[in-house]
Structure 1
């Protein structure tokens, strides 16, 4: 059915104004939404058990009413009656207490609009029971006399058929008992003019000490229906409870378990298919919500591991490609030298000096290949290296970085001097004008925080960064130490030309170099990057605003004592 005009977009729930607390109903709904599985299951069961109890009570009352309706004809005449011999009818009666011991007489009354029932209108299977209890009076004679026994033998049971004769016999028996018990309350009650005479409470009403209790058994059909309704009333009690428990369990599963299990099942299927490009989200605060968050943590960890493996594989591919590319130069030189030497030997015009020069060139290229292979081997060994942080004094790490910086700057200056000119004076000038300085942040200088780092790894990174900076510095190399956000930060700067855009983008790649050299293979920054990554940090390249390059290494410190003495 198409939506009505103006129905899109759907109305959004109105958020409470800032600073206003959500209403009680909203908070209650939120608490119920994030309730634990145990609590929600108990609430569901309680609600449905109450519903089962209400339904059981209602159906019990319903079937009880139906039972009463099916047996209404049986209870229509049930009650106390007196026999009126003149009318040959049964008259409704009520009891009148005669003494404290429970003896009673019967007085005519009207019940359910019935004044009397003709005996001929009652079925023969109507039950008749003598309700007389005058013999219970404490002054009564022995009811087991010969006369009484004989009469009891004549009329052991009353029935509709023999009721006139039985009533006459019962009244004669009462008169005999009354004559033998003149002091009983019955004597005064039934004295002439007392029981039904003028001024008596029972004036004009039939009274007697002989009464009957009548009840009519229901018909076979009514009895069958009565039994059926009673059985249904009994069976529906556990049936309602079973149905309600099933309904509670089903609703609990659909509302509380199924959504979370569906999310987890989908996540498990995607993880099994190695598809980690998704997010496990189930915004509930119950056990399944916590499990979903654990799944998300696991997925993120697997995704990061997968990305790390991919980066490692790509890095290895680039490394192998760079290694194969850079091997071509010395191999080409070796091949050319060998071919030239072979040609000269065959022609016989090779002088001893030419032979010696060729041998020296071949030896130099072989040495370069050996250094190249050693560098490659050392780079691959870094993949198996594990950072082992330990508590280190800040001053010890700072002194180690300063010693490394001064030594490398001095050595680099001397080497550059020897390379750029044969005179010793230039080498001395280069050594004197490449200076190194270490600076410590004001906070670290004041607090001297304890560090949790792998000192050998930090020193190796410092050696690579300072060595690279010293090669390009004009006058000065500076290093700065600081502790920020749980990381040891080492920044190395120089006053050289700085990084080119290509170097900023690819400077940390293996064998990248803008100034190829027989002694430098472009691995320094790549090694520093790998070591920082092993220590949970990273390496960033940049340029100073005033000119020169800056390399910033960060080392994660996971010990609880970081930034404290």
Structure 2
């Protein structure tokens, strides 16, 4: 400050200068505070990015356009057994285990017009023990603000763990398929077990018929042998005629064709029953052929009637031919399960005679089969669980809860649908829809 007052400068001028200096100083303090705040936010952002890179389980590598490493993460450092400071400035090609990986990486880095989404490739890296480690890498171009490519970002995941998980998943899938097949076969065997009594009765008639005919043939054979022995011995004609009359050879010869025909018929009937059971119990999930559903319905009614429920009334008239493509044995199992379930429901309420109504409607591409019983219907809270495995409303020991679940799966495998509802006139109604054979693609 000068010793005396300056010419043209009064006290108010000095006050303005001091005020401006205060304002500038305050602004500097505010800018310094804001700068410190920005630095703190920048440090937090850097710490966040570092924590993210450290937490990544996938390998991360950032290099420039020449393949010089600029950034890594903890997963890569752990895999190759080197620190981040050691990796920076080195070439990405030093981390590759073979020439094929080097050629693939060079192709990506030399591409002047890479896709923005990046591209995938398989590389082999050298781990800490200098052993080859396969990784599945995604290579994305790194672009500057000017739009020029300045490098590449490699994000890779070791595929050994993925392959191991894939093999475990595949093994689990195969085990599930085997368990499903065993479950299907077990359900089929359970249905087959219901038919044991009826099958025994069904087989008893033709077998008894065959046995009776064979005993008669045995007696006829003894008579013919006795008569032929007399003929070969040269007995006189009068004695032969008397013996022929005594042994009733004429009657025997006349009865032989009917005995043989009846025996063949009984044997064929037995073979048909056995073949039907074999066809029903065979494990043929992949076998697909044209199936006349009317015949399947008829066989299902026949076997259920021959089983444990012979006394029930069925209202069904075979309509127009309805042919689907599938497994006759599996479809018969579905219908037998539905029939048996309907009969169990109708019998459980103490009705004198269970009644089942079956109707089929054939459309242009699908057919619909409706099966209704005169039982009490299904409780509303059970409708959504009726096809769940092991769900049953029957007492313990009376049902496994697998019949309807297996039937649902079989129908789905045939490209159809199985549903249930309570009929307005009473009882439960199952609706089975299947594509016609002409509508099933080859």
Could you tell me the TM-score, scaled by structure 2's length? 0.34
Could you tell me the TM-score, scaled by structure 1's length? 0.27
Higher strand share: 2
Greater RCO, CA 8 A, separation 6+ = 1
